[in-house]
Chain A
Amino acid sequence: MLPTPDLSHLTQKDYEHVYEPAEDTFILLDALEKDAGVLQELKPRLCLEVGSGSGCVSAFLGKILGKADALYLCTDINLHATQSTLKTGEQNDVPLNPVLASLTRPLTARLHHAVDILIFNPPYVPTTTIEAVGAQAGRDIQGSWAGGNDGMQVTNELLESVESLLSPQGLFYLVAVKQNNIPKISHHMLERYGLISEVVLQRRAGREHLHILKFMHLWHDSHLLRVV
């Protein structure tokens, strides 16, 4: 079992502005660890985490794949989060490359079908639309959880770019909760973009029924699914 990345350099003061890893983070780590064999076999060269927060997930991915085997790009809309991501990379000897940006916007043009591993633990908590818009505009910790209508407001925006970002063999991992309507997400991604999906892990944590979804192109080597 791979250890959780060392976050001892982050303090409660950091966690006033940056989402502190919690159950949703840990189930994502567990899903990546479960898929470690598949991920290593894929030999991904470009990994992109959207909304990297503390940087815990990308640091963990770097431990699975090797620090010099891939480029680890991380975006976040929150300056504190990008700073924490940078520090977490240094602390764990995985070079993380944070970019202060909303979703993938400055990267979308250049990363057409170029992302081998895409990861998003979005703000998935259902809130009012206004609260979610305000949270994103505020560029602080609220933006890490306030998800608007069905908790899908921010996720939906990324979902429209996933197909164009993923490389032919690329994998996309998404954290979702039951209220996000997972069958609807899967159906939409298949019908609209030809991306198939599966639930890698699911777990109840308090009031949340957490899921880790994995998406890939329909033409993807089906053996990768079977290995899992």
Chain B
Amino acid sequence: MVRLITHNLLACHAKGCTTNNFPLAFRDVQLENREAEYNPEFLKGFMPKIEWNALVSTARELGDVSLPAECPEPGTETDEFLHALHHVLMEIHVEEGSMVCPNCQHVYRISNGIPNMLLAEHEIK
């Protein structure tokens, strides 16, 4: 279950890769939409933890253009916005595919909805 909310929190951690290592770029993905319970309070509470630009660009790469380029100020979120955010963060699942580091090009695979973020011993910082 790699949803965009999780993807937004993962960075490359290969040896020496400390800049431009986020967001990981999806490649060859199989997507599934699964309905999730909508909770606007959760979304508002979680927004400060989100890297907005990374979320918007990733959603657009996956074909979802519903989010605005600028994140609304706290307290000004409309229902329409929150529903769009809910869908992007919580309902788009990447079941299969890869995530590639924009800096070192390390490939992290996703299989059966689980991202493999393990590195071999020589690849660890």
Contacts and interface: CB of A to CB of B under 8 A. Distances in A.
Q: Do A and B come from one complex?
A: yes
Interface of A: 43, 45-46, 67-71, 73, 77, 79, 82-83, 86, 89, 95-102, 105-111, 114, 137, 139
Contact of A101 (B22, B41, B118, B121): B118
Contacts of B36: 68, 95
Contacts of B115: 99-100
A94 B3 CA distance: 15
Contact of B21 (A98, A100, A109): A109
Contact of A95 (B1, B13, B46): B1
B114 A100 contact: yes
Interface residues of B, number: 34
Contacts, number: 85
Contacts of B78: none
B45 A45 contact: yes
A161 to B, nearest CB: 12
A137 B118 CA distance: 11
A83 B114 contact: yes
Contact of B13 (A71, A83, A106): A106
- The list of the 10 closest CB pairs from A to B, nearest first, reads A68-B37, A106-B117, A101-B117, A68-B39, A109-B11, A45-B45, A110-B9, A100-B116, A45-B46, A105-B13
Nearest to A89: B1
Contacts of A70: 42
Contact of B46 (A71, A106, A109): A71
